[in-house]
């Protein structure tokens, strides 16, 4: 192994920061060997052999406050103990170690709890450096789906912690991911002042392969801006029940409309190509709106906000849209446009004042009623008037950017 300069005596070789609400972060500042079979990192530093053993444990997933989720995250061990396994695979770079075992399978969580914190951590700790990603719970389908992103983060093959039975040595290691909050990159907390726009540029680098978005070839005087309507399946809640009429109205006000129904198997290259070449996107609040990250800055993003979901809509998608420079709009549905009026009287608190109804019963009210029971049936007169403004903004963007 390459020699590493000795650290000053006062510098700890294992540093764990547990002061944050969202995450823990541990750093091994000296060469280390990972025994994948036991998920343990050992210090490869002979100076520790005469010192009492140090043991730290960490669950490297940035939702520390959610105890029921963190129980599903594999606990990793760091030790300076004397029994060090023999290194079988040598890496002359550091390791960055984290888990995707929390809400894997939910597109929003995969970015909020995964790739955005990963971007923050890489740019905070490994700017312009090579490193190996060591990932717990990295199933084959997940690795295949996000291969472009993972390869843009690191040129080295990832180490899938759960499928690996050998030992790996690294020049150092960082365990955990730094999170700034829901869908947030705080430039004030970044050593290099990176912003959400830099993350958007990272996505462009990952998925464009150096190509710009497809340019419309039609005469600009007759070209119509492209609107992507995100479609949801009815069994999930928040489906647009009169979607055919919505598409027709959008076309009548001047859009070319593409109805997009993403699934877990939709290749992200294809999703990126579609949305990045569009001028506007509209969809009801839900994980699929994470595709708004693929919109070009300046394009129009319309989030349809069902009853009771105003705060969730803001923290999940509005904040990132503003930070990314999108022309963000909200269509807040009226009670008459929600199917909840078919189940509850319009004078009941659940309809009349969702905020008061939720109270402290956040999870049950949000998940069981406002997310799962509610579908949308647009008032088509109101929707038509709203879409005229959406078209105006999308047309302006198209004329400026193509």
The DSSP string of 266-309 is S-HHHHHHHHHT-SEEEEESSGGGGGGGGSPTTSEEEEEE-TT-
Do 262 and 143 fall within a single domain?
no
> Phi, psi (5° rounding) for residue 224?
-110, 135
Let me know if residue 217 belongs to a domain.
no
**Are both 103 and 52 inside the same structural domain?**
yes
| Structure confidence by residue, pLDDT tens digits, 105-141 | 899 999 999 999 999 999 999 998 999 999 999 999 9
Domain that residue 274 falls in: 226-401
Answer yes or no: do 183 and 284 share one domain.
Answer: no
Residues 339 and 238 in one domain: yes
**Residue 132 within any structural domain of the chain:** yes
Rg (CA), the chain: 24
Q: What integer pLDDT is reported at residue 214 of this predicted model?
A: 52
**In a shared domain, residues 130 and 196:** yes
One domain, residues 201 and 253: no
Measure the CA–CA gap between 207 and 402, rounded to whole angstroms.
19
What domain count does the chain have? 2
Please report the pLDDT score of residue 369 as a whole number. Answer: 87
pLDDT at 81: 77
**Low-confidence spans in the chain with pLDDT less than 50:** 1-11, 215-220
Phi, psi of 2 (to 5 degrees): -60, 145
Domain annotation covers residue 1: no
Q: What is the pLDDT of residues 210-267, one digit of tens each?
A: 555 554 444 445 589 999 999 987 667 899 999 999 999 999 999 999 999 998 889 9
- Give the per-residue pLDDT at 99: 98
**Strand pairing partners for 331?**
304
**Domain end marker among 208, 237, 254:** 208
Instruction: Write down the pLDDT at residue 8.
Output: 41
Q: What is the CATH number of the domain that holds 245?
A: 3.40.50
**292 shares a domain with 150:** no
At 214, list the tokens: 């497809």
The reply to whether the predicted model has a pTM over 0.75 is yes
CA 87 to CA 350: how far, in whole Å? Answer: 60
**What's residue 360's pLDDT?**
60
Q: Are residues 263 and 377 in the same domain?
A: yes
**Pairing of β 40-43 and β 256-260:** unpaired
Assess contact for 239 and 376: CB atoms under 8 A: yes
- Do 306 and 350 contact (CB within 8 A), yes or no? no
Co-location of 262 and 383 in the same domain: yes
Residue at 6 is within a domain: no
Sequence-ordered strand ranges (E) for 100-217: 132-136, 159-160, 167-170, 173-175
Among 182, 208, 234, the domain-final residue is 208
The answer to whether residues 123 and 187 belong to one domain is: yes
Q: What is the DSSP string of 188-216?
A: GGSTT---HHHHHHHHHHHHHTTPPPPPP
In a domain, 267, yes or no: yes
pLDDT value of position 219: 43
């Amino acid at each position: 192994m390459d020699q590493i300069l000795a650290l000053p005596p006062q510098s700890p070789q294992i540093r764990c920061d547990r002061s944050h609400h969202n995450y823990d972060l541990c750093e091994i500042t000296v060469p280390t060997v990972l025994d994948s079979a036991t998920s343990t990192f050992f210090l490869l530093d002979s100076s520790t052999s005469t010192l009492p053993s140090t043991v730290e444990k960490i669950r490297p997933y940035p939702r520390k406050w959610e105890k029921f989720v963190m129980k599903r995250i594999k606990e990793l061990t760091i030790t300076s103990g004397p029994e060090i396994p023999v290194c079988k695979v040598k890496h002359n770079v550091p390791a960055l170690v984290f888990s995707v075992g929390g809400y894997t399978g939910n597109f929003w969580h995969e970015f909020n709890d995964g790739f955005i914190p990963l971007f923050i951590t890489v740019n905070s700790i490994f700017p312009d450096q090579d490193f190996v990603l060591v990932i717990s719970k990295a199933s084959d389908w997940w690795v295949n789906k996000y291969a472009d992103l993972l390869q843009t983060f690191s040129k080295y093959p990832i180490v899938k912690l759960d499928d690996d039975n050998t030992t790996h040595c690294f020049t150092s290691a960082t365990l955990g991911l730094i999170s700034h909050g829901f869908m947030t990159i705080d430039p004030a907390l970044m050593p290099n002042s990176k912003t959400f726009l830099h993350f958007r540029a990272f996505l462009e680098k990952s998925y464009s392969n150096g190509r710009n978005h497809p340019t419309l070839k039609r005469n600009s005087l007759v070209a119509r801006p492209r609107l992507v309507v995100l479609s949801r399946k009815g069994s999930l809640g928040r489906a647009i029940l009169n979607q055919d009429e919505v598409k027709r109205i959008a076309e009548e006000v001047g859009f070319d409309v593409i109805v997009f129904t993403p699934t877990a198997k939709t290749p992200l290259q294809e999703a990126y190509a579609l949305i990045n070449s569009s001028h506007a996107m509209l969809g009801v609040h839900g994980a699929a709106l994470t595709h708004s990250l693929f919109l070009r800055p300046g394009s129009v993003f319309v989030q349809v906000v069902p009853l009771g979901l105003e705060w969730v809509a803001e923290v999940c998608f509005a904040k990132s849209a503003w930070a990314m420079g999108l022309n963000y709009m909200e269509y807040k549905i009226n009670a008459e446009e929600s199917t909840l009026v078919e189940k509850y009287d319009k004078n009941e608190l659940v309809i009349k004042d969702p905020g008061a109804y939720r109270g402290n019963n956040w999870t049950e009210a949000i998940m069981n009623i406002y997310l799962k029971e509610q579908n949308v049936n647009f008032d088509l007169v109101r929707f038509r008037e709203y879409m005229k403004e959406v078209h105006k903004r999308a047309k302006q963007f198209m004329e400026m950017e193509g």
